Structure 1
């Protein structure tokens, strides 16, 4: 059944790289818990205890707000085909924006997405597997080709305005730490 490991091994890294979907969870001590599904090619494993996730512009920015106060984060992956497995990565994350010194190096691991908003550099301190026998089989049919065209259509100025209006505060009114965009 379940195991706890100090870091990722080759088999688990291969499992992560094969998943088209993962989930991100963050929380404050009070207020709403954030749990978000993520897709596209926005997560890279950089080592046994390090992953980086490229966050694209969307309707909210809860993760960034939570991480400013409590840098803890959990990422979860589920096998929807093949042998059952649930994989959780527990750790802490730091948020990087386009003007941060490490942005270019870490962003270089990803394709250039028009709506790129932040990077989350995750330091993994616990890896946990569990059986996943209750997770249903689901068929992956492909990515939705909507977010990237939407961001491209908004353009630089439109994305700047959208993030200012929709991504600068969390649901609980917390500042998300987005720097002013030039």
Structure 2
């Protein structure tokens, strides 16, 4: 039932762009915890070309994806249809973390909607594209995005964001390095 694609076709691009939620999966190289993170805000995901995508990484409770990518680079992005015909699309590949100060950060950041609390941009080089039936995925109706993450980040001043990131984003739950001290400085980081 699964089909492999050589590139992101117009049909796949349209499907991906229509999904209000996507999921990011990563794992450390040796032992540790597999991480799966749901992502919302449709304007935080961008298709860069036929085999490259990126998403805006916002402040969060942990730093698993960044730590795992720096450990081994492996990442899977999954989209599934909760409305319309059943479908699941998985993008397997290698991710890299682009932080403020990196040469391509500002250009990448412009591809996304405005959000406070930007930590990085995750760029994924795709090496396998697979879609499958999604017959068991339930129907669910999208009402709208939760604005809570943006509201939370918007209420924090620079010192509060710096302290939060220092406490929660320096290493993964398995002790892998996350964001360094200079990477956790939120001055002027708003998409």
Normalising by the smaller structure, the TM-score range is over 0.9
Deviations 1:98-145 (A, max 9, x none): 111100010010123111111111101110001000100001111111
Distance across 1 between alignment mates of 2:116 and 2:158: 8
In structure 1, what is the equivalent of residue 7 of structure 2?
7
Q: CA RMSD in A?
A: 1.1
Aligned counterpart in structure 2 of residue 81 of structure 1, from 80, 83, 90: 83
Match of 1:165 in 2: 167
Does the 8 Å contact 1:68/1:177 carry over to 2?
Answer: no
- Cα distance, 1:169 vs. partner? 1.0
- Gaps of at least 5 residues in structure 1 are none
Distance 2:128 2:48 in 1: 16
Q: Secondary structure at the match of 2:60?
A: coil
Structure 2 gaps of 5+ residues are none
Q: Distance in 2 between matches of 1:13 and 1:179?
A: 37
Aligned residue pairs: how many? 182
Name the residue aligned to 2:40.
39
Q: How far apart are the structure 1 equivalents of 2:33 and 2:67?
A: 11
Structure 2 match to 1:117: 119
Q: Runs of 4 or more off by more than 2 Å in structure 1?
A: none
Q: State how far apart, in whole Å, the 1-side matches of 2:177 and 2:70 are.
A: 9
The CA deviation at 1:179 is 4.4
The normalised TM-score by structure 1 is: 0.97
**Contact 2:76 2:90 (8 Å CA) reproduced:** yes
TM-score normalised by length of structure 2: 0.92
Measure the CA separation in 1 of the matches of 2:67 and 2:102. Answer: 17
Pick aligned residue for 1:51 from 50, 53, 66: 53
The alignment partner of 1:46 has SS state of strand
Does structure 2 conserve the Cα–Cα contact (< 8 Å) formed by 1:4 and 1:127? yes
